[in-house]
A and B are shown apart, each in its own frame.
Chain A
Amino acid sequence: MEQVIANGLYLGAQYALIALGLTLIFALMNVLNFAHGQMYVLGGFVVYQVYGLMKLPFVVALVAAAATLAVLGALLERFLFRTVIRRSEREESTMLLAAGIAYFLDAAILLMFGEKQRGVHKIVSGVFVWDNLILPWDRILVAGLAVLFIVAFILMMQYTKPGRAMRAMAQDRTAAQLMGVPVQFYGLVGFALGAMLAGLVGGLLVTITGVNSGIGGPISIKAFMMVMIGGAGVTGGAIAGGFILGMLESVGLTVLHAYGDLTYLAIFVAMMIFLAIRPNGLMGKPWG
């Protein structure tokens, strides 16, 4: 039982971080980032390259992954999303663009890193045993780092000037612009930050589960689910959604492990019933 809860918390911390990036991009730009899972995979492969192959310290690899993704996110926003949003008649056109980018990243990652499952050495060895709870130390470290990033993100959003500006933008883009917030610049920053969060989680998890070029799509879908459970565009919702999904998976896989895929079917169906009752998720506001 303790084991199930511990696993759920560990999963939840990772998931929450993934969902945060997705919800940030959505709140600022109104873009549903289909390529989020691919960004996660790319982060994983950067860490594999720097830490696994080049044998540099893990911290350096993680910074490299974050920087790569931040630059990629900024470039995507500046040269693709901004242009399409300006030219298109419908906001939904960005979905096609995002799907195109997801395919593009999938193909690029496959060409650069191949289709093999890649993993790296453990960052710390040993296992933490307490009563009948067994957790490897590296999982604890990774979960701790994820929580640290989440806290840092929240503090930044709450107490710094860019954070305030982005919150204002998420509330009302036009009003924020009228108050002198450079919305284009912060759109770029937000996109870079969202992509960076995806890369960070990828970089963290490659040390435990490894990474392969095909998992981008499924990760995106999980991220969508977390955002839906919590409510799109809400920080607290993304975190809550991440932990809820992590816990559901952990419990479901234990209770229903004899039936395999039934866990996910049950989660999906439960989520659809939940959304029928609360169409805006836990914390989302109704659509205007």
Chain B
Amino acid sequence: MLRMVPLPRFAGEETGACCFPPPCSEAKRGRGTTRRVVEGARRSALGYLGDEPMSRTQGAGRAAAVAVFLAAVFVAIPWAIASTGRTDLYYTLSSVALLAIASGGVWLTFYIGRINIGQGAWALAGGYASAVLVATYGWSFWLSLPAAGLICAFASVLVGLPILRLRGVYFSMVTLVLTEVARLTALALPITNGARGITSIPTPGPIRLFGLTIVPAFDSLAEPNRAFYFLSAAMMTLCFAGLWRLVHSRLGQLFAALRQNEDLASSMGVNVPLLRVVAYAISSFLGGVGGAIFVAIAQSIYPSSFTINDSVNFMLNCFLGGLGFVFGPMLGTLVLYFGWDLLFQTGPYQLLIYSGSMILLMLVLPNGILSLLNLRRRAP
């Protein structure tokens, strides 16, 4: 009889912080030399922060990088769009931002050592949750957004408790099936209106605090897409800042310990089942939030809004950007989305060229685009 081969663990952690994006885990191929794993798990279990103290120049460099990023996203891009008149780019970039949020969730499950191909299910669930709350129950979009995330997080705890016991390929395959389950459930439930979906969902209303209008109603704006862009970009910044903070916290160290060796972490007194459900819930929360905003932009949702293809793409975004980098999913989403859009002119050859270049990229840069940073660092 054939027997399965266990997937080798994939990380010996290297800690150390320098440039932006921070190398939260430079996974090295070495099959986890025991000493290093023990060391990593011990530190994690005791709650030490693994990071070396940051030098002043590194801190300044990181602050500068963050400033450049914020300026680019919130000033340069809107200015460039306004001056060139390509307002359609607002929609495209909002989509990138939202898909990046969902991919960030997938990245977190990668971070605890699980390959998650089921984020489409949570994006769909979050979208439906928001759509039903807004369209059927008349909630404000701004309330439905966190509600959608929380509903997804809660549901993912229920689903995650059994399926997170699965490891390796089993987990990935079951999450893949989960996407299909979500689609079929959306088709079958009465509240989701079956294949016809939910359409003409109202746009987000105003936010008023003490009589002051902080955010105006989106339909009163001349250019709602611009507002959606700012909303999506702000959410993306927020989510990734949170993700970065999380990874560099004690909890993040514990997550890294899970990836390295669950049994060892468990023997050190780490509550493994709880932590992996927490990670999965955060991941699904991000998926739900991304899906909910997406639905607000599209003003409609159907069971086929997020399919297995989307789930696979969320995973690919993480791979492409580089699994060792918090900001990998962001870059990966941008490159994949724009790559796909740019190839639209090639007509029938679009998918052929797209997948062909994906294979090539895999051959040349199997550790993601951001792994180029490591090359640069090692070179001198």
Contact = CB atoms under 8 A, between A and B. Distances in A.
A and B interact physically: yes
Given A90-B27, A100-B358, A287-B168, A265 B188 contact: yes
A90 B362 contact: no
Interface string B173-198: 11011101100110110000000000
Given A30-B5, A173-B5, A280-B170, 5 more contacts: A27-B5, A89-B371, A91-B10, A104-B356, A288-B6
A253 to B, nearest CB: 14
Contact of A224 (B177, B187, B351): B177
B180 A264 contact: yes
A69 to B, nearest CB: 18
Interface in B141-198: 159, 162-163, 165-170, 172-174, 176-178, 180-181, 184-185, 187-188
Interface of B: 1-8, 10, 27-29, 110, 115, 159, 162-163, 165-170, 172-174, 176-178, 180-181, 184-185, 187-188, 308-309, 312, 315-316, 319-320, 323-324, 348-352, 354-356, 358-359, 362-363, 366-367, 371
A23 B2 contact: yes
Contacts of B185: 265
A261 B4 contact: no
B181 to A, nearest CB: 5
Contact of B5 (A101, A217, A233, A281): A233
A107 B351 contact: yes
B362 A170 contact: no
25 contacts: A24-B2, A27-B3, A30-B7, A89-B10, A90-B27, A91-B7, A96-B320, A97-B359, A99-B358, A100-B358, A103-B351, A170-B4, A172-B5, A217-B308, A221-B308, A225-B177, A232-B4, A232-B169, A234-B1, A265-B181, A265-B188, A268-B181, A275-B162, A279-B166, A285-B3
Contacts, number: 196
Interface stretch (A57-65, A79-87, A116-124): A79-87
A27 B349 contact: no
Contacts of A111: 348-349, 352
Given A111-B348, A264-B184, A271 B177 contact: yes
Contacts of A103: 351, 354-355, 358
A172 B178 CA distance: 31
Interface of B is mostly: helix
Contacts of B8: 91
Interface of A is mostly: helix
A93 B163 contact: no
A104 B356 CA distance: 6
Interface in A224-268: 224-225, 227-228, 231-236, 259, 261-262, 264-265, 268
A136 B89 CA distance: 56
A101 B115 CA distance: 19
A231 B2 CA distance: 11
Nearest to B319: A96
Given A101-B359, A104-B359, A276-B165, A285 B177 contact: no
